[in-house]
Amino acid sequence: MFRSLLGLAVLAAATPALAAGPEPVAPIQAVMEDFGGKKVLAYYTSDAGRCDLVLMTGEEPGPRVRVSLTPDQAATIEDVAGGKVTMTCGAAARMTVERTPSVLKAASAE
């Protein structure tokens, strides 16, 4: 299990931390977000026109959440400071990711 998370983390290194708008994500491409020192990892596979999304913490062993989304449905992961990652299933079961930085993090940077 640790090796699979390590593999996801390596793939996630190529994913930009913040994006100006929705960014396309390939099936099994890891999406990683840091929420106040706690890592959240996500990836999806496509099956029968749906996006099967898996979300998990970066801790081992940790819980996993599996969600099956139809096109135009979204799942959002949020932290208490206002940061969030929204993963939207699009046409042909292709997913996009949109990141919103934490309000507290943005305020402390000024």
pTM over 0.75: no
Q: What is the pLDDT of residue 20?
A: 63
Query: Percentage of residues in the chain with pLDDT exceeding 70?
Result: 75
What whole-number distance in Å separates Cα of residue 107 and Cα of residue 85? 19
Tell me the per-residue pLDDT of 17-69, one tens digit each, with 9 for 90 and over: 444 689 999 999 999 998 888 899 999 999 999 999 999 988 887 889 999 99
The full set of domain ranges for the chain reads 2-109
Q: Beginning with the edge strand found earlier in the chain, give each strand of the sheet holding 95-100 in spatial order.
A: 23-25, 95-100, 84-89, 74-78
